[in-house]
Structure 1
């Protein structure tokens, strides 16, 4: 192990030394900003007019043009919805010029410019099994409850399966929620979705970007075996105080932002801004008189979320952000169950741009805390408490279109799970786990080929296990309009769910760490540790059809070579609580995006298979939805596009479930040697059929919303949103009660009204 780390250090030193040679040529670098609010613009195109070459800005709006000869260089900067900017820069030999560039929003948006801009980015990035989501895309969906939300948009992405409106979770290409890593500004969020399932903890209006990696993600991410959601918030308005207020039938929201220290006349000065977002639901109260037809006792869901951020920027574009959040959720079913969770966190992330180097330094230091509790009338109470710290440093060296990245990450996690089973045995767990990750990644662009090899070295202290995890992404631009791509890698993780992934309905989202010692075997091989492990392969094609149409086709295979699950065969308290399983997830999907004039259309079809093998049987998971179709449309019309109509239709084949084979009278368990068997009461016992051999009916739902915008002044705008969820009131089955055979349905037709004002 020491030799591996020593070799890694030598590689890093080599690249640093090698990169210093680049400084012999001239360099132009900088950050592109929105002139209106002073926020960076990611993924804008930077072209050298005379040579015809260019680059794309990164998530921070940063770019670097390297290996330039001395002389005057004409640079053209473009981005969708903004006027192009052309500047002349006089560069001396060996000089490094660092500038800020400001784009003004276009008075007339060019038709289809968003699709065209995306195509340029796709030619220079591998982007395998990744969906880049922005706030504009989310607002082009029907707004359930009148407020657009990331959770609603994620449901239309290829390979994503959503299990229900009430307590539903997202399953991404065969991975369970615990196997999906969610990052907010670099900090892990343990539960990103509220119990009603229609809303996330994230405010759409503060999102800068949300990258969803459904498979084959790069070496900069570790600690999960299925997928990653990397969510980043924007900075507050640097030029003036502004905000937004929403109020509707489901909930309300407030957003405030503005400058703390302003940058005058776009000069090179330090500046700072703040951003504050608070949103909440009062559906439990309004549903008692607005939606009594859905449930005469009301819909018992409430949540309250808050996020704050202070962004400080220096003269050369370097910056530090201080942020914090508090997310809360609660459900109260009278005489059945009470459930609530809360999460909070705080931290800082920073970006450093050295003046004389083509290097970017980024880092995060943060702490988060998550508590969840469930009290049931017929089962023991359960609670789970997870907290921990994160520290990472990332370094990027840029040479034209080529980028070398490396970094280090330290993670510490405390886990406290409290649960007593029916035998009265304490099945809780209290542990501390530390992890160390090191990674290398290099993006090499040669003519039509993009190769992105990487490797991650991840050490789990609780398992005393060192895991080398190679990753690879590849793209070949066959023509300007057709691209072949591939990605793959090895992945591990230490966290597991405190509930079985066979449970269809379970609001409790607790967490455990995998056992340190395991006596099981996998595929007749003795296991050395109980980490969860997987291997990914993805192959795809991208097509640009005509000018405004993009088509993406991907097939994938995930081999879950080692999974830890609740032991469903446990009979006695001394039996193992957990078992090791294997699994497979494979399939493919097709997505189409059309963006022309005022019409936006998106459609996707997914075909998936997800199975598990517990050493005794091979079974389908309860989220193994074979076919899934999503179609969305958004159309703007009227004077100044004052009207907008959005529609979404979803169809999915029914989920597998375990049928009830029979019911029998069963005596209550004897809990002590002094118990009298003759005095024990009988309860109903259930005989289950083979696991998940039944199938629920198919699911389909239509959502519609209509928006009307009112321009009061240049800065004040209002919007009225009318929405209908499950427009034709289809009775989608959620599950069937085993004892009463009662069918429990998803949410019926729900109408909503929302009003918001921006200033």
Structure 2
């Protein structure tokens, strides 16, 4: 056992190659680009060194903390141009000698000059690289929402390959994976379920988000413990120059936000609170009850001192409600996450040390209103160390993480005895990831990760590789590839027989059980046509093994007994995006197929044959998405339309009552027995197709020099399509999604 621990530690702490020195004849330019308005770093700013005649000689884009680095520069005098959308272009002339020159730039708000090379960060719905897409706040604002700003939850549902369980429940399935197979991080802190019960909102509104990296698969070795996808959200720093705030009201949400400097240009705070009111507003708007309640509270402290940037982030969410108004099954869950992270930079910005530590807790309950019969939770304390070093040929990143987790659940339903369990486990994770650049046309990123946990009985080695080929050496077109092996030691169990509940029990892999595993393969091609039109195409496959699925027992109760299934998910999607001045157009199409296979005797399904192959509930074959945004005269109109084919569901062919006459616990004259639901073949039928149109129109109104009122009006499901949410096989009733819902939202901003 101990040799495995040694391998895990050595891989994380001793994998760094020696530093490669720059050639004496070359020069290097490094620095940080920030906003002169609020002191915040600007990610994605273009830094260009011009050659004779204004031609581009060297260029780079700034990273998440506003840092940039250009190496291998021939010494000499160069005009430098630094630009960012919405800011005035900075120009200067630098004399570069052999060695490293640090050059920091503060950009002022103003019109940007769009001439010259654009060294763009990876952003936009069509701009992606082998499953990776970077999302910016400006993109969130294009999705019609019953509130004054966008949200990551609504944006993700416009991407082909992302399947929601409906407009309630907060479940997202990404390219064949289940919600419990996704890794969600906020400022490096894990959070189990940040998506709210309404399905339209998450804990990540536009006001808080700096950017989000979404891996639909093929994630690098820096992300361990998830076999499907990664959503890595970075919150922005509060304004370090002046105080700001906002408050909003609408039929769904009440919100309040504040930010400002603690020590000017050095430290800041950022806070936001949101509270749902749809439960109160549904009656007048819809003429029926919508028993959904949720809120979230977020706070962030950030400080910049010398060569370090540190932050402390706290987040709490709460959700409670019923997915079916007529069923007395109330669901509730809450997340609490608290932790800190520090980035420490070397003087030349070539080396970064990241230190993180934190605590998270998740709990969910289910049962009759006010009297939950099921409860389950997951608590985790962790510490991690990551090191990143830039080299002349590329860079290397390596790190180590240690978790201590507690898993608990209690089931106290009718017709069964009390069932409860607590488990405690440690997990060690380590990785090393390289990035090698061959000129301007090829980037090779191999990596290797390892996990050791599950009562110290499971050890994994997970090789991964990402490639990016730019055939003409420019950003105009790119061919990308990602392959890798992924393991997950802890899994979530949800009763797949009952679409009306999202109650989940988290459990680690048993001592003798194999861990869940997936092998990913993704190939993609992206091309830019001119300045505003971009298109991309990706194909993928996920081969999944040892996936725990619930037994199809006929007993009408939550089932903790599972068997292992193998899964295969594959598909392709295409996206086209156009930005032409005030007009934005996006269209996406996706085709996918997901199948599971398990032994019929182990699964408990009443079908012929030794193996059962079935398509789970998230097997959505066809998806079409369209988004339009138009800004004219200060008025912004947004439109979103979606179409999806029907998802699978399981029919029933009867009901029964079971009397226990073996142990004589039931008496025919006095006991009715245990209710049974007799299921047909798992997921042997499909629901009808669905489609929906959402629209919004908004306009800012200046009330005073530093006070603005944002007015937004819109509607969900504009043409009142009756879309099915799920079919309740226990009551034989159809449960529908949200009908036509108009709204008016107001927000006041003080700046």
TM-score by length of 1: 0.90
SS at match of 1:424: coil
Q: In 2, distance between residues paired with 1:684 and 1:440?
A: 53
Change (3 A) 1:118 1:72: closer
Which of 584, 594, 607 in structure 2 is aligned with 1:600? 584
Which of 247, 250, 253 in structure 2 is aligned with 1:248? 250
Give the conservation status (yes or no) of the 8 Å contact 2:311–2:341: yes
Q: Deviations over 1:356-389 (max 9, x none)?
A: 4611112221111112211238998110121111
Q: What is the match of residue 452 of structure 1? A: 445
> Shift of residue 299 of structure 1?
0.8
Q: What is the match of residue 535 of structure 1? A: 519
Q: What is the match of residue 31 of structure 1? A: 32
Change (3 A) 1:357 1:20: farther
SS at match of 1:506: coil
Which of 210, 213, 230 in structure 2 is aligned with 1:211? 213
Matches within 5 A, 1:252-331: 252-263=254-265, 271-292=266-287, 295=288, 298-316=289-307, 318-331=308-321
Q: Deviations over 1:595-649 (max 9, x none)?
A: 11100111110100001011220000011010001000000002xxx10100000
Which of 635, 660, 682 in structure 1 is aligned with 2:652? 660
Q: What is the match of residue 106 of structure 1? A: 110
Change (3 A) 1:138 1:15: same
> Shift of residue 652 of structure 1?
0.1
Q: Deviations over 1:373-410 (max 9, x none)?
A: 11238998110121111221221111357121111111
Q: Deviations over 1:63-115 (max 9, x none)?
A: 12234455544332222222222233444543x4334311122336859x9x9
Q: In 2, distance between residues paired with 1:681 and 1:709?
A: 64
Answer yes or no: is 1:66 the counterpart of 2:66.
no
Q: Deviations over 1:690-734 (max 9, x none)?
A: 111111110000000000121345533221000100000000011
Change (3 A) 1:83 1:566: same
Change (3 A) 1:21 1:457: farther
Give the conservation status (yes or no) of the 8 Å contact 1:548–1:595: yes
Q: In 1, distance between residues paired with 2:65 and 2:342?
A: 11
Answer yes or no: is 1:372 the counterpart of 2:364.
yes
Change (3 A) 1:385 1:576: closer
Answer yes or no: is 1:515 the counterpart of 2:519.
no
Answer yes or no: is 1:707 the counterpart of 2:677.
no
Give the conservation status (yes or no) of the 8 Å contact 1:146–1:752: no
Give the conservation status (yes or no) of the 8 Å contact 2:415–2:674: no
> Shift of residue 126 of structure 1?
8.3
Give the conservation status (yes or no) of the 8 Å contact 2:432–2:449: yes
Which of 389, 395, 398 in structure 2 is aligned with 1:403? 395
Q: What is the match of residue 679 of structure 1? A: 670
SS at match of 1:289: helix
RMSD: 2.9
**How many residues are matched?**
726
SS at match of 1:677: coil
Q: What is the match of residue 623 of structure 1? A: 618
Q: What is the match of residue 605 of structure 2? A: none
Could you list the runs of 5+ residues in structure 1 that have no partner in the other structure? 264-270, 518-528
Q: What is the match of residue 608 of structure 2? A: none
Q: In 1, distance between residues paired with 2:667 and 2:252?
A: 53
Matches within 5 A, 1:423-442: 424-442=416-434
SS at match of 2:232: strand
Give the conservation status (yes or no) of the 8 Å contact 1:586–1:610: yes
Q: In 2, distance between residues paired with 1:254 and 1:403?
A: 41
Q: What is the match of residue 149 of structure 1? A: 151
Q: What is the match of residue 604 of structure 2? A: none
Q: What is the match of residue 350 of structure 1? A: 342
Which has the higher mean CA deviation after the structures are superposed, 133-142 or 666-675? 666-675
Change (3 A) 1:583 1:131: same
Which of 482, 485, 491 in structure 2 is aligned with 1:490? 485
SS at match of 1:568: coil
Q: What is the match of residue 81 of structure 1? A: 86
Change (3 A) 1:144 1:110: farther
Q: In 1, distance between residues paired with 2:38 and 2:137?
A: 16
Q: What is the match of residue 463 of structure 2? A: 470
Q: Deviations over 1:241-276 (max 9, x none)?
A: 11111111111111100111113xxxxxxx111111
Q: What is the match of residue 591 of structure 1? A: 575
Which has the higher mean CA deviation after the structures are superposed, 377-386 or 70-79? 377-386
Matches within 5 A, 1:688-703: 688-703=679-694
SS at match of 1:498: strand
Q: In 1, distance between residues paired with 2:507 and 2:490?
A: 6
Answer yes or no: is 1:127 the counterpart of 2:117.
no
Which of 136, 149, 163 in structure 2 is aligned with 1:161? 163
Change (3 A) 1:146 1:299: farther
Q: Deviations over 1:432-474 (max 9, x none)?
A: 1211111111111113111111111221242522211000011
Answer yes or no: is 1:752 the counterpart of 2:743.
yes
Change (3 A) 1:671 1:227: farther
Q: In 2, distance between residues paired with 1:627 and 1:343?
A: 33
Q: In 1, distance between residues paired with 2:617 and 2:122?
A: 40
Which of 564, 578, 587 in structure 1 is aligned with 2:562? 578
Give the conservation status (yes or no) of the 8 Å contact 1:79–1:117: no
Give the conservation status (yes or no) of the 8 Å contact 2:641–2:692: yes
> Shift of residue 503 of structure 1?
3.9
Change (3 A) 1:378 1:282: closer
Q: In 1, distance between residues paired with 2:244 and 2:747?
A: 14
Q: In 2, distance between residues paired with 1:10 and 1:170?
A: 33
Q: In 2, distance between residues paired with 1:308 and 1:652?
A: 37
Change (3 A) 1:9 1:27: farther
Answer yes or no: is 1:48 the counterpart of 2:78.
no
Q: In 2, distance between residues paired with 1:670 and 1:300?
A: 41
Q: In 1, distance between residues paired with 2:8 and 2:665?
A: 65
Q: In 1, distance between residues paired with 2:661 and 2:105?
A: 75
Q: What is the match of residue 607 of structure 2? A: none
Q: Deviations over 1:334-373 (max 9, x none)?
A: 8712332222121111111111461111222111111221
Q: In 1, distance between residues paired with 2:521 and 2:140?
A: 29
> Shift of residue 660 of structure 1?
2.2
Give the conservation status (yes or no) of the 8 Å contact 1:502–1:622: no
Answer yes or no: is 1:175 the counterpart of 2:177.
yes
Q: In 1, distance between residues paired with 2:305 and 2:370?
A: 59
Q: In 1, distance between residues paired with 2:370 and 2:678?
A: 19
Give the conservation status (yes or no) of the 8 Å contact 1:65–1:399: no
Which has the higher mean CA deviation after the structures are superposed, 335-344 or 137-146? 335-344
> Shift of residue 557 of structure 1?
0.4
Q: Deviations over 1:189-220 (max 9, x none)?
A: 11111112111122220100011100111000
> Shift of residue 675 of structure 1?
3.4
Give the conservation status (yes or no) of the 8 Å contact 2:660–2:666: no
Q: Deviations over 1:495-525 (max 9, x none)?
A: 22231345423132332223323xxxxxxxx
Q: In 1, distance between residues paired with 2:566 and 2:66?
A: 42
